[in-house]
Amino acid sequence: MPTKPHVVVIGAGCFGGWTAWSLLRAGARVSLLDAWGPGNSRATSGGETRIIRGIYGPNSPYTEMTARALPLWRKYEKEWKRPMLTRTGVLWMASSGEDSFERGSIQMLRRAKLKFDELPARELKKRWPQINFDGVQWGIFEHDAGYLFARIICQLVVEKFISEGGEYRQVAVRPEELESGSWKALALEDGSTLAGDRYVFACGPWMGKLFPKTIGDRIRPTKQDVFFFGVPSAESHLDDRHLPIWAEHRDRFRYGIPGNQGRGFKIADDTRGPTFDPTNGERVVNPDGLRAMREYLALRFPAMKDAPLVETRVCQYEQTPDNHFIVDRHPVAENVWLLGGGSGHGFKHGPVVGEMMTELVLKEKEPKPYFRLARFPQPAKALTTHSVAAQSKAHPRMASW
Ligand SMILES: Cc1cc2nc3c(=O)[nH]c(=O)nc-3n(C[C@H](O)[C@H](O)[C@H](O)COP(=O)(O)OP(=O)(O)OC[C@H]3O[C@@H](n4cnc5c(N)ncnc54)[C@H](O)[C@@H]3O)c2cc1C
């Protein structure tokens, strides 16, 4: 490899942006390309906020990754003098008999030295009288957790990347021939070509389309509806000054971010939706989902009964069959790295992913086995609606975000 290798990163979302910037800081020459811009409305990193939390259930490597990510977010916040992380804590509401996810997380939090409280129902009621804790037996409060400004961060990372000498272009890479691995340069939508020594494809939910044989249905874009409701008044104690981020498994996995910057009380259902086309899909929420959200809100946050819907968003998860990221070389092109499959929980790990990719690409290290393509016993297939439905059943208790 040349002493200053030229790495081309395709996709300026959370994974690609942090990767490009970290490679640049490590001394590479880096070109970063994105079809619609960092944090655009189609991208999985688009939108206002993403949660950072350490609870991931038993035996998950992502708790340790969060413990590594938290100080990095703080470090860059200081270095760049721009707010990125709002620390609200995350409250997990648990019911006995259905709490293996929370119980299994406690040991992991301890091991990762992430600060938390285990709280009985009476303490929950005392601390957060705005919440109706009916059916909740206990909870965990994660102190250092909070939310990240998603789109703003993606744009900031690219801004930093450019200011430190990186080359950024808003242009799409043409998908034809990519899978063959035998191309000598990328063909771009504007008719030009771009050659590098190494390539990192970080195209989120588009990865399966760009690499139909290697990725295909191993990364499935699933439609996820997000709702924002208006809080009754500034004194209602339902914004992020008074309430933490919260999550509950119960019959379905629901979570919420209480009104950042006056945007309303954000709430979403983590259940995987139908297959979604990230390029042409119309971003309109499902009315049944809205009805179900209203019912849930009225139960858990009584002051939010009849609250008006002030905003909606449709995003897509980039779901792998086992919820692990995909980080590996293309099987026939040693200098092509595939990075994606954040599976609805990747954003918080951006700076750690950047560090990891720098080691892999520049120092030619090997990815962890749970990230590698070899973990999939079956060859990749084209996406179908049926396969997505089967997958969401297989992971009923998966906490993505
Ligand atoms: C509703 C929702 C809630 C979530 N909540 C959380 C959360 O709370 N916490 C958390 O950690 N994670 C969360 N996630 C997941 C997280 O947002 C993703 O895992 C992460 O943002 C994925 O980033 P990415 O860079 O891989 O993909 P993307 O952000 O999709 O970036 C891919 C980029 O590639 C570009 N691109 C595509 N094709 C081409 C091409 N041919 N040429 C050039 N560029 C191309 C696109 O324009 C895009 O900008 C959530 C996701 C959703 C949808």
Each residue's pLDDT tens digit, 76-121: 999 999 999 999 999 999 998 889 999 999 999 999 999 999 999 9
56 lines ligand 1 (CB under 6 A): no
pLDDT value of residue 163: 98
- The answer to whether residue 139 sits within a structural domain is yes
The H-or-E segment that residue 124 falls in is helix 121-127
Q: Which residues have C-beta within 8 Å of that of residue 294, sequence separation ≥ 6?
A: none
Q: Is the pLDDT of residue 197 over 80?
A: yes
Give the pLDDT score at 392.
46
Q: Is 146 in the pocket of ligand 1 (CB under 6 A)?
A: no
301 has pLDDT over 50: yes
Cα(242) to ligand 1 centroid in Å equals 29
Instruction: Classify residue 400: in a domain, yes or no.
Output: no
221 lines ligand 1 (CB under 6 A): no
| Cβ of 401 less than 6 Å from ligand 1 | yes
pLDDT at 394 over 90: no
Lowest mean pLDDT among 197-206, 254-263, 360-369: 254-263
Please report whether residue 1 resides in a domain. no
Q: Report whether 147 contacts 245 (CB < 8 A).
A: yes
The residue nearest atom 42 of ligand 1, judged by CA position, is 172
* pLDDT band at 398; cut points 50, 70, 90: low
Q: Report the nearest-CA residue for atom 6 of ligand 1.
A: 401
Q: Is the CB of 12 under 6 A from ligand 1?
A: yes
**Mean pLDDT, all residues of the chain:** 94
Ligand 1 atom at minimum distance from 255 CA: 8
Q: How far apart are the first and last CA of the chain?
A: 37
pLDDT for residue 142:
98
Range of the domain at 55: 6-394
Residue 388 has pLDDT above 50, yes or no: no
- Establish if 141 belongs to a structural domain: yes
pLDDT at position 368, please?
98
Confirm whether 298 is domain-assigned.
Answer: yes
Q: List, for residues 163-189, the tens digit of each pLDDT value.
A: 999 999 999 999 999 999 899 999 999
Cα-to-centroid distance, 310 and ligand 1 (Å): 24
| Residue 351, ligand 1, Cβ within 6 A | no
- Prediction pTM value: 0.96
In a domain, residue 296? The reply is: yes
**Nearest CA, atom 51, ligand 1:** 344
Residue 401 inside a domain? The answer is: no
Q: What is the mean pLDDT of residues 375-398?
A: 62
Q: Tens of pLDDT along 21-66?
A: 999 999 999 999 999 999 999 999 999 999 999 999 999 999 999 9
Instruction: Indicate whether 132 belongs to any domain.
Output: yes
**What values do phi and psi take at 46, rounded to 5?**
-70, 175
Query: Is the CB of 11 inside a 6 Å radius of any atom of ligand 1?
Result: yes
- 121-168 per-position pLDDT tens digit: 999 999 999 999 999 999 999 999 999 999 999 999 999 999 999 999
Q: How many structural domains comprise the chain?
A: 1
Closest Cα to atom 41, ligand 1: which residue?
173
From edge to edge, which strands make up the β-sheet containing 6-10? 167-170, 29-34, 6-10, 198-201, 333-340, 326-330
Tens of pLDDT, residue by residue over 233-283, are: 877 789 899 999 999 987 899 999 998 778 899 999 999 999 999 999 999
Tell whether ligand 1 has an atom less than 6 A from the beta carbon of residue 50: yes
Amino acid type, 26: A
As a whole number of angstroms, the distance between CA 153 and CA 346 comes to 14
Residue 392 to residue 344: CA distance in whole angstroms: 12
Q: Which atom of ligand 1 is nearest to the CA of 313?
A: 1
Q: What is the number of the ligand 1 atom nearest to the C-alpha of 346? A: 19
Query: How far is the centre of ligand 1, averaged over its atoms, from the C-alpha of 14 (Å)?
Result: 6
Q: What is the CATH number of the domain that holds 84?
A: 3.30.9.10
